[in-house]
Each structure stands twice: as C-alpha cells, then as structure tokens.
Amino acid sequence: NQGVELTFGGNLTAVSGIGASAAQCVCLARALAEAQGKKLTEEEVNVAGYEGEKGYHGTPSGIDNTAATYGGVLRFQRDEEKPIFSKQVVKQRVEI
C-alpha cells in the first residue's frame, strides 16, 4: 500500500452549482487509475465520480459526474434504480 497526497487548486469551489466537484472527482478517478496502470471504462469512471460526489453532496443527481465523464450534450433522467442517460447528436451549431 502506498499513501497518496492530493492538492487541488484553482478558483472553482465545490457546491458552487457549476459541476466543479464532479469534474474534480472524475479527473481524480482517471488520474489514480492511470497512476496505478489500470484501464477504467467510461462507466467505471462515471461510477467513481458519482461516489466522490456523495462526499460533497450526500445524494447527488448524477448529472454533473455524467457530464464530466462523457462530455457533449446529454439527455439525463434520474431513476430509482440507475440513472438513464444518452448522448445527443446536435445536427447544427448552437450559438448562445
């Protein structure tokens, strides 16, 4: 067993409403897997991100970690058993 010391920096704070904590959890899952020479599936990364989000929010919806894991435009529906999501294809450019 090896100890790990983590230091996160930046201006984005957890529980700010922009998904920063979920992005942090997802990147941490990816970094730790890579450091250990493990290959995680996107679903495994997403599950790890969701578990990390529980530490910040208790009962997160699952959308922030899902967006941080898969990126793009997502359709998300929280369900009692398992959240349902699908990547959406945007056929034309969207300007905001």
Q: Which three-class secondary structure string do you get for 21-87?
A: HHHHHHHHHHHHHHHCCCCCCHHHHHHHHHHHHHHHHCCCCCHHHHHHHHCCEEEEECCCCCCEEEE
Residues serving a catalytic function are: 64
Burial (CB < 10 A; 0-12, 13-18, 19+), residue 16, is exposed
pLDDT given at position 71:
87
pLDDT given at position 14:
66
pLDDT given at position 12:
72
pLDDT given at position 1:
67
Low-confidence ranges of the chain (pLDDT < 50): none
Question: Cβ distance 82 to 43 under 8 Å?
Answer: no
